[in-house]
């Protein structure tokens, strides 16, 4: 499903990409495009995971710590414990979903604030990863090789080569990272779930108005928990991809601020932090925009320490744009209602006052 926001974001990506290419032609080099696509694939999966939670009005601040802890466990299982990588992948995926189940239960059933639950989880998982490794870097031993796993998780394929040969091009083509292919699969599945399934309609309804969704017969607790479970499972997949990409993990810093990248991508993609809005395609486009901006910072020789400043600015601008878009939409609905002779929709302030006191603002 394509929204107006998605089209606008796509145009912005094209404009910025063109500017970057003009400033530094190295941006269009096949190697740079392939590396950027690899980053988009890994961060995009974590961003889609975050989007499921944001959709129901929640937040997942422990994503980076989950990536670190599950990445450490995955490497240890296959490199040191001689566990088959397929079994290790299933165990790590199950662990991620269990984490999501715990977070969702504490938020939806116990009634704790998502910010508090996931912030505590961030500290717990980061500390657990450092304790498990005794604060040492974990990686594959010398000579350790898992060819099938490495090809699946970190490999690249020239999938456009047959098409290029049809046009007479016999040289090398852009190697598409398998992480980007994984992101494409996740995007399609998540898009079907969110925009073409009953579960997706329930998630949007809860994000819009949880109380109204409950009165309409939706099992809000189970649906909210399901959103966190999906988030945990996708984050676990991202953890494995990052682990195979880096091939070594320092638990003190691995995954730091990944949750902010994911939140920024979701907000840029049209997901409102209030919940109930957004599209999966928008999240992917938001991830692309962030990675293009980061690539611009690197190609221009700007200190990498400013990456976080860029991310913070992007999140702020995204939130401001979301607020302005919501106000613009409310005014448009009000004008349409007046034109049709129906009562206009109340302003956010009036609606909030009515909800608190039962009396509308004058």
Q: Are residues 235 and 178 in the same domain?
A: yes
Regarding whether 49 and 196 lie in a shared domain, the answer is: yes
For residues 319 and 222, membership in a common domain is answered with no
Contact predicate 318/289, CB 8 Å: no
Task: Say if residue 251 is in the same domain as residue 353.
Answer: no
20-24, 86-90, 129-133, 162-166, range with the lowest pLDDT: 162-166
State pLDDT tens for residues 83-107: 999 999 999 999 999 999 999 999 9
Domain boundary among 269, 302, 335: 302
Average pLDDT value for residue range 295-324? 74
Q: Do 320 and 208 share a structural domain? A: no
Q: Both 21 and 54 in a single domain?
A: yes
Q: Is 196 exposed, middle or buried (0-12, 13-18, 19+ CB in 10 A)?
A: exposed
Domain shared by 72 and 20, yes or no: yes
Among candidate residues 302, 334, 351, the one where a domain is terminated: 302
Residue 303: pLDDT band with limits 50, 70, 90: confident
Are 289 and 323 in the same domain?
no
Token pair in block for residue 100:
């999501």
255: domain CATH number is 1.10.3470
Does one domain contain both 244 and 111? Answer: yes
Instruction: Assess whether pLDDT exceeds 60 at residue 78.
Output: yes
Same domain, 98 and 137: yes
Confidence of residue 280 (pLDDT cuts 50, 70, 90): very high
Q: Please provide the average confidence, as pLDDT, over all residues in the chain.
A: 85
Same domain, 330 and 256: no
Among 299, 311, 295, CA closest to 256: 311
* Domain span holding position 315: 305-362
**Alpha-carbon torsion (265, 268, 271, 274), positive or negative:** positive
Give residue-wise pLDDT tens across range 230-272.
999 999 999 999 999 988 899 989 988 899 889 989 988 888 8
- Domain count of the fold of the chain: 2
CA–CA separation, 149 and 78 (whole Å): 10
The last residue of a domain, from among 251, 271, 302: 302
324-354 tens-digit pLDDT: 777 777 788 888 888 876 554 454 444 444 4
Cα distance between residue 256 and residue 265, in whole Å: 16
Q: 54-77: per-residue pLDDT in tens?
A: 999 999 999 999 999 999 999 999
Q: Are 193 and 25 in contact (CB under 8 A)?
A: no
Tell whether 318 and 197 lie within a shared domain.
no
Instruction: Please state the pTM of the whole predicted model.
Output: 0.84
């Amino acid at each position: 499903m394509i929204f107006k926001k998605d089209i606008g974001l796509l145009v912005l990506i094209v404009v910025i990409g063109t500017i970057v290419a003009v400033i530094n032609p190295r941006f269009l080099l096949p190697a740079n495009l392939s590396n950027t696509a690899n980053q988009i694939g890994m961060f995009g999966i974590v961003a889609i995971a975050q989007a499921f939670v944001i959709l129901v009005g929640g937040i997942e601040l422990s994503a980076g710590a989950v990536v670190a802890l599950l990445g450490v466990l995955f490497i240890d299982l296959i490199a040191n414990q001689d566990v088959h990588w397929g079994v290790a992948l299933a165990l790590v995926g199950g662990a991620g979903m269990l984490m999501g189940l715990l977070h969702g239960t504490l938020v939806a059933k116990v009634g704790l604030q998502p910010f508090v639950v996931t912030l505590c989880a961030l500290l717990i998982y980061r500390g657990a990863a450092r304790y498990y490794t005794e604060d040492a870097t974990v990686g594959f031993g010398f000579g350790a090789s898992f060819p099938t796993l490495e090809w699946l998780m970190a490999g690249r394929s020239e999938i456009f080569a047959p098409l290029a040969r049809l046009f007479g091009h016999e040289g090398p083509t852009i190697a598409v990272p398998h992480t980007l292919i994984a992101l494409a699969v996740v995007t399609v599945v998540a898009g079907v779930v969110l925009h073409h399934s009953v579960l997706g309609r329930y998630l949007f309804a809860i994000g819009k108005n949880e109380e109204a969704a409950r009165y309409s017969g939706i099992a809000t607790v189970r649906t909210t928990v399901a959103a966190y479970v999906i988030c945990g499972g996708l984050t676990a997949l991202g953890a494995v991809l990052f682990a195979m990409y880096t091939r070594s993990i320092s638990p003190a810093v691995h995954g730091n601020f990944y949750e902010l990248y994911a939140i920024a991508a979701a907000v840029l993609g049209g997901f409102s932090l209030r919940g109930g809005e957004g599209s999966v395609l928008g999240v992917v486009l938001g991830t692309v925009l962030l990675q293009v901006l980061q690539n611009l910072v690197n190609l221009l020789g700007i200190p990498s320490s400013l990456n976080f400043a860029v991310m913070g600015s992007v999140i702020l601008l995204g939130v401001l744009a979301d607020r302005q878009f919501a106000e613009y939409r409310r005014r448009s609905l009000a004008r349409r209602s007046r034109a049709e002779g129906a009562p206009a929709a109340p302003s956010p302030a009036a609606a909030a006052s009515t909800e608190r006191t039962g009396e509308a603002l004058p």
